[in-house]
Every structure is written in structure tokens, then in C-alpha cells.
Amino acid sequence: MQYTPVFRRLGVVLLAATLFLSSCSRFPIDTGEKENASSSASDWIAYMLESQTDFLGCRIGGEDFSLRAVEREVTQSETEAADVYAITETDTETGLRFVTTLTAFRAHDALEIVSTITHTGQDKSPVLSELRAADIRLPIPGREGITLKTARGCLATGVDDDYDFGEIRQPMGVGGTYTYAPEGGRSCDGAWPYFDLVGSEGGAVVAVGWTGQWEAAFSPVPGGVRLQAGQQYFNSYLLPGESVTTPSVTVLFYRGFSEEGRNDFRQLVLDAYTPANVKDESFLFPVSFAFVTPFRKEEAIPRVKSFKEDGYDDLCAWLDAGWYGNNPLDWSSQVGNWYPNPETFGENGIRELSDTVHDMGYRFILWFEPERAQANSEAAKNRSLFYEHEGSGGLLLRLDTEEGYEWMWNLLSDAIENYGMDIYRQDFNLRPLEYWSEHDEPDRVGLSENRYINNLYRLMDALLEKHPHLVIDNCASGGRRLDIAMMKRCISLFRTDYSCLQTCDPQGVQYHTQSLLSWLPLHGSAIWGDQLNDFYTCVSTVSSGVVISSGNRLATDMTLALQPYYRGDYYSLLTPTYDNVSHQAWELYDPEKEEGFVVALARPKTEAGKLTLTLKGLDPDKTYSLTVYDSSVRLAKGSGKELMEEGFSVHLKPREAQLLMIRAVEGEGEAK
């Protein structure tokens, strides 16, 4: 298919807006069949293309892009999983070429929007400002008000991070605009780049794919919501031949309840925004034992062997910060000294450790923080590689330059090969926004950030291509870079630094689990020391992966048993809260396997008694049993209809956990 209207003028734009507002009530279309649900997004795209409505927004020299004359061409192609539309619009006066790529995912009612702008003229372009990767009106079905749901992101470590990822609900009043952005240039620092626009009959989940400083604004309009999202600060001209690429914006439409839309979004994340070598269920999300600084080769190698001798078959050995430089007791002061510490590992110690790990049949994880360096480090001797910022926590790599890109590529690609890394753990303990803004030239605001973030994606893609076995673990002072563009390339083994602290408690971890699972299916947490022997803590903490400090069957076996179900559907059975007095419960259920599990918890100051829970997502006509984890004791049995309407009861004492396995059965006690 090819659309080829040559010029767009104001009358066409006004007509498109009129058509949209009159048609919001009929988009998305309810097909009644989930497998055909993608026609809603496809129909919406077709409508937008036929009406020549732009997906992005910006100003060129102060004039709205939608008012300018452009040459326009639309082409369509296909991939295995999606229909792809390329909209090319060339501004006839300036030579600025806008290529907007729409990817419509066939298995989901969803699309992704991203644009690249290239200057094809002979002189520098007018200033591009108010650049939004998406400036669109989303149809939200229903006649009642719309509620915007998002989350807090990662909060201040040791201050209020008990509430990391906690849900925010904002009723949207007519005439209001609701704007969200992170702090300091990391995508999940104090904000969350995922949103759920909930109408009375359906809604839309929105994800901003930008690992820097994004902004998203939502304004109610007749029949839906206007979305404006992109890089928060951009006000720059382009030189001849220069290009910039916007953040991506992903939109998933859904009918019915928010929970159904979120579960479809979780499946979209697994299908389209999870690394290729991770999305398959055969990939085991790591159960890792961590070596925390200071740790010596002479201690690490026997410890690895001891895990194997104790019968652990599939683990990851995780060497975290502190293995490099000259002071293993102060890991942060040594970033930029990317050579093994001569005292703890010596010249070949890292490779000796990884070889031992592989001999045991395990995987090896190694920590780096290549984007940051201390001023007195080996890397910082080449000052042209780094940005400085007074009073900061170090220097920032100039990843926006080709020199910075090549340095980071050589460092990491060589280390992956030389150290035998299976999982590369990338940390980032710096707020980069002020570095970028201080070094932007006049009328080039946002250009440093744009090049930096796109080079970060380019580098990760290149690493994964050259080292196809590699998995990248995404850390940034915990979970401050969990946007969808990063999750497409990485996993998160340590979703928040809350688990590093002695003040960490199981109730906070429960809250993180409940909140984060409603958006993202795969992420890890940690259990340390004596907590490994505590059933309540283990049930509270295990996720699709877990980090442990010592050998423990309870935590590892529980994680491995529950792992497959995190790829299924997630349901909060009680409203998530952070406190010491409530009950909490959640469910993960795989409708294809017809299996899952339920977590039920009484927090420390809860009164003992009976808790009745109703399940979700079951087939009402099938029979299910609920058995106590790691036993044959059946707690309940009933039809899906009975378990979803009447429920079942558990008796819990204060600070007690119950873990129940769900399974469809045929006949009395006979497993299907």
C-alpha cells in the first residue's frame, strides 16, 4: 500500500481534526474476538493516514509543522510480527525531512511511533522546538470520566524508596493538562514512563521509550485524550546532513477493564520489548549468588565450587562493584579504573573465576559503570572523553560523540570476551541532565542528550549483535532506567536499591512486587543473610529472578518453581499498600498452561483470622485445585466460576505467608 498525497495545507488539517473528534466514539472498534483485536489499532492508523493527520508535533522556526507545505509519501512493509508504515514528509522550504515509522503489532492492539529528522538542505536549518515524538488524540471508549494511572518510579534511596513504583491515580478533569517527567535525566528517577488511560469501557496503555529526560502531557478532549510526549528539552537547529531520532511512544488499546489491558501490555512487552535471547521460556531468569566487595579470588573460586557440591545445578555467579581499581573498600571512588584490583584478583583472577563458574555449569555476571568516571581515574586522563560538572559524583562519558562511543565499545566488547561474561551488568549512578545542558551550544539545546541516548541504544544493539549469547542487566541506582526502549535490550535483575539497605523490610518488597508486576513481567529482587531461612520473607521477595548471599534451598527452589508463571497474567487480589497492618494477596496465572500461584500474606500487625480471596482469569467451566506449595495438601477445589465469584479462605496469623499453587484438574484429584 502506498499513500502519495503531495502537499498538506491548513484546510486538510482542520478537516482531519473535525473528523477525528466526530469519530472518537467508534475507535477502537470492539471486534469481540481477541485474536482480531489488532484491527482497532490498524483501523486507527488507517484513519490517521487517510486524513493526513501527523503523529509527531514540532515547530520549525516558530511555525507549527502542521501548517507548513510538505511533500508526503507513505509506504507499507511487513515483518514477521508487525505491519510497518513509513511516513516521509519533506518540508519544501527548509529541506528538513521527517520520517515517522509506525509499527502495528498484529498479535496485540498496539503500535509504536518513532521519528527521525534529517536536514537535507544546504544551510543550517531553522530551530526545531516543541518537538514531540507523539502529538496525537487517543480515543478512549466510554461516556464517563477518564482516570490516568501511572507510578512513582524510583524514589530517594533510604528515604522514601519503600514506595518505589507505587501506583498514582489521577482523575482527569475537563480542561486540565497532566504532565509528568523524571528528575535529572534518568527515565524512572521520580517518575514512571508508563501510563494507563482508563475509561468506563476500555482504555489505552502508553509507554515512552526514552532513557533520558522525557515528558508526557495528557489533556482530556471530546471522546478521548490528547497525548504529547517526547524529549522534554529540545530547541536546536540542524546542520546539513545532521539527524536526530525522537523517543519512541508505544500505545496499546484495550476493551474492558484496566487489568485486562495491563495483562495484554505485559504480553506485548514479552513479545516485542524483551531481548530475543530472553523472551523464550527456555531462558532461566537468574538465581544469582553475589560476591559483594571486598572479595578475593581465593575466596570466590572455592565458594563457586561449594555451590556445585551442594547440588545447585543452575546458578549465576555475580561479581558486583569493587573488583577493579586500587581500593576494594570504596567501589565508587574507583570507577574509571577498569582493571582488576591487583590485591583481590590480580591480572588474571577475573578470568580464572569465570572459567571456574563455567566449569560448574553456571553463568557469570560482571558489573561495570562505564558512563561515569572519577576525575583521578585512568580513563579520565583523556579529558576529551568526559564532561565535568561542579559538585557532582564524577565525570560523565561523552557518549554523544563518536570518540566516546568507540571508547565504551572497545572497553565493553573486549571485557565481555576477555572475562567470559554471560551477563553484563551496567550501572549508572549519576544524574546526567545538568551535564548535557551545561555543554549544549546556544540554539542546540537537547542535542547532546539526543545523541547520547541514541548512541547508548546503538552500543547495546552492537554488543548484542557481536556477542549473541550476551544478556545485559540494566541497573541505574536501582531501577531508574526501566523505560520500554531499555527493556527491549536489557533485563532488570535488581529492580531497586531498596534491597541493599538494612532498613529494607518484606512489606516494602511486597509493595514493589505488586506495583511493578502490573506493568513489567520480568524483574529480580534480593534476599540476604538470615532472611533466606524465613518463609514469610522468601514468599514476599521471590520474583522471576532473585539474588542471594549464600546457599539456601528455600529461596532458590521457590524461585525456580514459580518462574514460569511470571510470563502469564498478573492480578492484584487486594489493593497494594505499604504498611504493617493489612493483608496482601496477588495471583499469577498462565491461561495456556492452566496453572499459576497465589500469594496471601498477613503483615506483622495484622490480627489473626480468616481471609477470603476471589481469583481472576480462570475458565469458569473448568475445575481447579489449590494446593499448598511444596506439598500435596489441598486447600480448596472448585470450578473457575466458584473460585472467581465465591472464592476460598485461608487462615493467617500475624506475619504469616501462604503460597498456593493453582492447577486445572480433571476429576477428583487427578491432574490434567
Q: 619 and 475 in one domain?
A: no
Q: 322 and 266 in one domain?
A: no
User: What is the rounded average pLDDT of the residues 165-181?
Assistant: 96
Q: 182 and 113 in one domain?
A: yes
Residue 311: Cβ-neighbour burial (10 angstroms; 0-12, 13-18, 19+): exposed
In this predicted structure, what is the pLDDT of residue 2? 43
Banded pLDDT at 26 (limits 50, 70, 90): very low
Q: 269 and 289 in one domain?
A: no
Which pLDDT tens digit goes with each residue over 277-315? 998 888 888 899 988 777 899 999 999 999 999 999 889
> Which among 273, 303, 336 is the end of a domain?
273
Banded pLDDT at 587 (limits 50, 70, 90): very high
551 or 511, greater pLDDT: 511
Which pLDDT tens digit goes with each residue over 552-572? 789 999 999 999 999 999 999
Lowest mean pLDDT among 24-33, 513-522, 630-639: 24-33
Q: Is residue 649 part of a domain?
A: yes
Per the CB < 8 A criterion, the answer to whether 611 and 649 are in contact is yes
> Which among 240, 273, 306 is the end of a domain?
273
- 346 vs 324, 333, 367, CA distance in Å? 10, 19, 17
Q: 332 and 224 in one domain?
A: no
Banded pLDDT at 27 (limits 50, 70, 90): very low
435 or 33, greater pLDDT: 435
In this model, does residue 469 exceed pLDDT 50?
yes
Q: Is residue 518 part of a domain?
A: no
Q: 120 and 238 in one domain?
A: yes
In this model, does residue 17 exceed pLDDT 50?
no
Identify the CATH number of the domain in which residue 88 sits: 2.70.98.60
In this predicted structure, what is the pLDDT of residue 561? 95
Angle in degrees, CA 527, 531, 534, rounded to 5: 120
Provide the terminal-to-terminal Cα distance of the chain, rounded to the nearest Å: 47
Which pLDDT tens digit goes with each residue over 50-88? 999 999 999 999 999 999 989 999 999 999 999 999 999
Q: 473 and 335 in one domain?
A: yes
- 405 vs 366, 385, 456, 472, 545, CA distance in Å? 20, 9, 8, 17, 31
In this model, does residue 3 exceed pLDDT 50?
no
User: What is the rounded average pLDDT of the residues 342-359?
Assistant: 96
Lowest mean pLDDT among 64-73, 130-139, 608-617: 64-73
Q: Is residue 224 part of a domain?
A: yes
Q: 164 and 77 in one domain?
A: yes
Query: Residue 61's beta-bridge partner residues?
Result: none
In this model, does residue 14 exceed pLDDT 50?
no
In this model, does residue 360 exceed pLDDT 90?
yes
Q: Is residue 546 part of a domain?
A: no
Cis? peptide before 28, omega within 30° of 0? yes
d(CA 247, CA 485): 8
In this predicted structure, what is the pLDDT of residue 368? 98
Q: What share of the chain is helix, strand, coil (3-state, %, to 5)?
A: 30, 30, 40
Q: 183 and 322 in one domain?
A: no
Q: Mean pLDDT for the chain?
A: 91
Q: 290 and 245 in one domain?
A: no
Tell me which residue range forms the domain holding 205.
2-273
Q: 60 and 18 in one domain?
A: yes
d(CA 261, CA 646): 24
Q: 223 and 293 in one domain?
A: no
Rg (C-alpha) for the chain, rounded Å, is: 26
Banded pLDDT at 142 (limits 50, 70, 90): confident
Supply the pTM of this predicted model: 0.94
User: What is the rounded average pLDDT of the residues 83-110?
Assistant: 96
Q: How many domains does the chain have?
A: 3
Banded pLDDT at 504 (limits 50, 70, 90): confident
In this model, does residue 89 exceed pLDDT 80?
yes
Q: Is residue 33 part of a domain?
A: yes
Banded pLDDT at 667 (limits 50, 70, 90): low
555: helix, strand or coil: helix
Lowest mean pLDDT among 13-22, 82-91, 94-103, 148-157: 13-22
Identify the CATH number of the domain in which residue 425 sits: 3.20.20.70
pLDDT over 70, % of the chain: 93
> Which among 273, 291, 310 is the end of a domain?
273
Q: Is residue 561 part of a domain?
A: no
Per the CB < 8 A criterion, the answer to whether 640 and 618 are in contact is yes
In this predicted structure, what is the pLDDT of residue 624? 98
In this predicted structure, what is the pLDDT of residue 502? 66
Q: Is residue 645 part of a domain?
A: yes
In this predicted structure, what is the pLDDT of residue 552? 79
Identify the CATH number of the domain in which residue 580 sits: 2.60.40.1180
The grid cell for 148 is 490516568
In this model, does residue 541 exceed pLDDT 70?
yes
Closest CA relative to residue 617, chosen from 591, 645, 637, 638: 591
Which pLDDT tens digit goes with each residue over 239-266? 999 999 999 999 999 999 999 999 999 9
Q: Is residue 328 part of a domain?
A: yes
d(CA 308, CA 314): 9
In this model, does residue 340 exceed pLDDT 60?
yes
